[in-house]
Amino acid sequence: MPDATDNSDNAEATARLETLVARLSDADLARDLGGGWTVSVALSHLAFWDRRIAFVLDRWMRDGTPHVEFDDDVVNYALEAIHAAVEPRQAARLAVESAKAADAAIARTPHDIASQLIAGDSAYLLRRKNHRTEHIEQIEGAL
């Protein structure tokens, strides 16, 4: 099981994300964040990474297939056009749903899997607060 602090930090970041998403107008979702990203692209990006983590952990718990690292920059670049094509309100909804799915998967991750992730320098999979907070602050700064 992950550290209780990680679970609490993740839940706090999810609540902050949910509060932010609830107050975003259509104009806010379209606001430019630079680098070709809008607020909705950033939310779709968060949704993807949280969904991926939920899937990785659930699969590992289900059938023993461990996490495999890959080039995050390549994935982010390849997905930019897809994120931009996601309807902004759907991106916002998916960001919150995916954060909750990731938090639930992390909370039920057994100690042995969590320990392997931490030992393998993949603790970030259990500590979603950092990634969410990075983009929440990016969005809040643009509003």
Residue 113, Cα to own-chain centre: how many angstroms? Answer: 19
CB within 8 Å of 35: residues ≥ 6 apart: none
Find the mean pLDDT for residues 102-107.
Answer: 96
Q: What is the pLDDT of residue 120?
A: 87
Q: Is residue 2's pLDDT more than 70?
A: no
Concatenated DSSP letters of 95-126: HHHHHHHHHHHHHT--HHHHHHHHHTT-GGGT
Q: Is residue 1's pLDDT more than 60?
A: no
Q: What is the pLDDT of residue 116?
A: 92
Contact 18, 103 (CB under 8 A): no
Number of structural domains found in the chain: 1
Q: Is residue 49's pLDDT more than 70?
A: yes
For the chain, list the strands marked E by DSSP: 32-34, 37-38
Q: Is residue 110's pLDDT more than 80?
A: yes
* Phi, psi dihedral angles at 57 (to 5 degrees): -70, -45
Residue-range definition of the domain harbouring residue 127: 4-142
Domain with 86 in it: what CATH number? Answer: 1.20.120.450
pTM of the model: 0.93
Cross-strand pairs, 38? 32
